[in-house]
């Protein structure tokens, strides 16, 4: 891939004026792929995708965004996120120039944040399952930070246990090649030593150090022409197209119709247009044998998460069933995220069954209803407190002193929770080796969205898979996704 990171607006595919202005610049640069960090569910992207397709440009799309993403220090994976992700990616599936999806970007940036790794892996699992359920097979990967001591455990973890729960490619955001250096002095030999045997396609999802300006992009010749790199690297994405406060831009956007090209732009265009990677031909046999790594053990110095289990898959049907079995629920007409969290905290500290909606990635224990949405989980907690207090109406009020309104309301259940357990169990990934229980509490940090929404009462359940914590290397049973991504990445290299 001769790629470019492209994010001049929050949804550049919907900005037709911007694409009309920028596509000629893309062609000057000689790129064949752009990476889109954000897009908006519900916006029309058909025209933008068609314009890029006509120009011969593929797209790689990040499925999360600033509002709906796995938060590094307070991770969760639930229906709030899954609904937005699937609503966003669904319209892209029919695009002829869609290349791949990225399920997370630099979610994990220090050892403590490795506790978020199971949530990233769960997101990869569920995005892959959703795509497959729609009848498509697009690679799903992750873009990670370079130079961290936990990197190897994370990479292996994201490619262990089951092909259904593993990345189809791994992306690295790397800025090692700075100024007038050579391959030998750049730090790239270390990357080759570390990653040349990685069992999935590998790409630089960001590159282009700006500590020396203008950037001459001499690394391009190495990325696409040095056998030490091309033997394991499928190209990369230059960061980034437009200039902002971080000073990585190739152009300054002057208006809806005009840009000013920096000297960096000219250097990159020269380098990319002179790069002629050999890649692979469609007729070439695929000889790579995919395999999965051992799931890493918990390591207090490098990897804090347990590999024993994954968070459950968000399941509309089972979560709606659970919600409909409750007799005390959140009154969304009089509540805010902060007041809901306060009510849930109170209930948890007074005996409510909060473990059922909590997660603990350090021990690998995930509550049965932990993948339900914010309102469903909070309602479950309030209902538990209400039941524990003999269903007194006052035990469901949870008044908010700041508004003099109640957070809870008594309702009539329309089903029983026992009828929901089968669905829930089917969507929960567990391991028989886990015998510990979580003691974490339901806190304000659990709420990750800025709005309160009514729980969905119908919808298609996500396809679910399980992950094994085996210590033995596992051969992929089919390797379909891996082989597809390995082939398509190699073909893009020569376009």
How many distinct helices (H) and strands (E) make up the chain?
A: 15, 18
Task: Specify the range with the lowest mean pLDDT, choosing from 159-168, 259-268, 333-342, 479-488.
Answer: 479-488
Please say if the pLDDT value at position 459 is more than 90. no
Superfamily, domain 2-299+480-492: Glycosidases (3.20.20.80)
Give the residue numbers marked as catalytic.
Answer: 106, 206
* Residue 154 contacts residue 114 (beta carbons within 8 Å): yes
Integer Cα distance of 236 and 172 in angstroms? 9
* DSSP-assigned states of every residue in 175-233: ----SS--HHHHSHHHHHHHHTT-SS-EEEEEE---SSSS---THHHHHHH-HHHHTTE
- Show the CA angle centred on residue 290, arms to residues 284 and 296, nearest 5°: 155
Q: Is the pLDDT of residue 166 over 60?
A: yes
**Residues 9-59 pLDDT 10s:** 999 999 999 999 999 999 999 999 999 999 999 999 999 999 999 999 999
Contact indicator for 21, 257 with CB cutoff of 8 Å: yes
For 57-69, write each residue's pLDDT tens digit: 999 999 998 889 9
SS3 call for 256 = coil
Residue 6, C-beta contacts closer than 8 angstroms, at least 6 positions apart: 12, 22, 34, 35, 36, 240, 241
Kindly state the percentage of the chain with pLDDT values over 70: 84
The two most distant CA atoms of the chain are separated, in Å, by: 76
Q: Does residue 440 have a pLDDT over 60?
A: no
**Average pLDDT of the residues in 1-11:** 97
What confidence category does residue 482 fall into, taking pLDDT thresholds of 50, 70 and 90? very low
Average pLDDT of the residues of the chain: 87
Q: pTM to 2 decimals?
A: 0.87
Query: Where in the sequence of the chain do the CATH 1.20.58.1040 domains occur?
Result: 316-446
pLDDT tens across 310-329, in order?
999 999 999 999 999 999 99
Residues of the chain with CATH 3.20.20.80: 2-299+480-492
Q: Which CATH number applies to 316-446: 1.10.760.10, 1.20.58.1040, 3.40.1260.20, 3.40.50.720? A: 1.20.58.1040
- Residue 173, beta-bridge partner list: 145, 206
- Whether residue 71 contacts residue 444, with contact meaning beta carbons closer than 8 Å, is answered with no
* pLDDT level of residue 222 (50, 70, 90 thresholds): very high
């Amino acid at each position: 891939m001769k790629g470019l990171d492209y994010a001049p607006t929050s949804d550049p595919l919907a900005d037709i004026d911007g694409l009309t202005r920028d596509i000629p610049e893309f062609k000057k640069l000689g790129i064949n792929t752009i990476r889109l960090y954000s897009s908006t569910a519900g916006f029309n992207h058909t025209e933008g995708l068609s314009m890029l397709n006509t120009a011969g440009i593929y797209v790689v799309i990040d499925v999360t965004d600033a509002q709906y993403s796995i938060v590094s220090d307070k991770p969760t994976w639930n229906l709030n996120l899954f609904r937005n992700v699937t609503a966003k990616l669904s319209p892209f599936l029919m695009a002829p120039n869609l290349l791949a999806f990225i399920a997370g970007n630099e979610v994990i940036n220090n050892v403590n944040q490795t506790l978020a790794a199971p949530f990233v892996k769960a997101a990869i699992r569920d995005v892959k399952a959703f795509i497959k359920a729609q009848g498509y097979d697009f690679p799903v990967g992750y873009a990670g930070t370079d130079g961290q001591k936990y990197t190897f455990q994370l990479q292996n973890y994201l490619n262990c246990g089951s092909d259904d729960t593993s990345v189809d490619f791994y992306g690295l955001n790397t800025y090692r090649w700075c100024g007038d250096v050579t391959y030998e002095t750049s730090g790239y030999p270390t990357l080759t030593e570390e990653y040349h045997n990685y069992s999935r396609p590998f790409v630089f999802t960001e590159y282009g150090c700006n500590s020396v300006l203008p950037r001459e992009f001499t690394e391009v010749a190495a990325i696409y022409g040095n056998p030490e790199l091309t033997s394991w690297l499928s190209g990369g994405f230059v960061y980034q197209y437009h200039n902002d406060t971080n000073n990585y831009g190739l152009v300054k956007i002057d208006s809806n119709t005009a840009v000013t090209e920096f000297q960096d732009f000219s250097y990159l265009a020269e380098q990319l247009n002179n790069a002629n990677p050999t890649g692979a031909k469609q007729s070439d046999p695929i000889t790579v044998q995919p395999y999965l790594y051992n799931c890493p053990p918990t390591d207090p110095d490098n990897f804090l998460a347990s590999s024993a289990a994954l968070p459950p898959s968000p399941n509309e049907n089972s979560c709606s069933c659970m919600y409909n079995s409750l007799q005390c629920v959140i009154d969304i007409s009089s509540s805010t995220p902060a007041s809901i969290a306060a009510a849930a905290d109170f209930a948890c500290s007074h005996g409510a069954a909060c473990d059922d909606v909590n997660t603990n990635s350090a021990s690998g224990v995930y509550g049965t209803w932990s993948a339900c949405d914010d309102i469903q989980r909070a309602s479950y907690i309030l209902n538990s407190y209400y039941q524990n207090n003999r269903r007194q109406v006052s035990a469901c009020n949870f008044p908010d002193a700041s508004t003099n309104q109640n957070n809870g309301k008594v309702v009539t259940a329309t089903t029983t929770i026992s009828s929901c357990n089968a669905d829930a169990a089917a969507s929960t990934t567990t391991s028989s080796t886990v015998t510990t229980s979580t003691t974490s509490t339901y806190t304000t940090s659990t709420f990750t969205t800025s709005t309160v929404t009514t729980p969905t009462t119908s919808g298609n359940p996500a396809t679910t898979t399980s992950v094994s914590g085996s210590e033995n290397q596992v051969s992929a049973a089919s390797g379909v996704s891996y082989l597809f991504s390995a082939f398509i990445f190699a073909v893009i290299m020569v376009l």
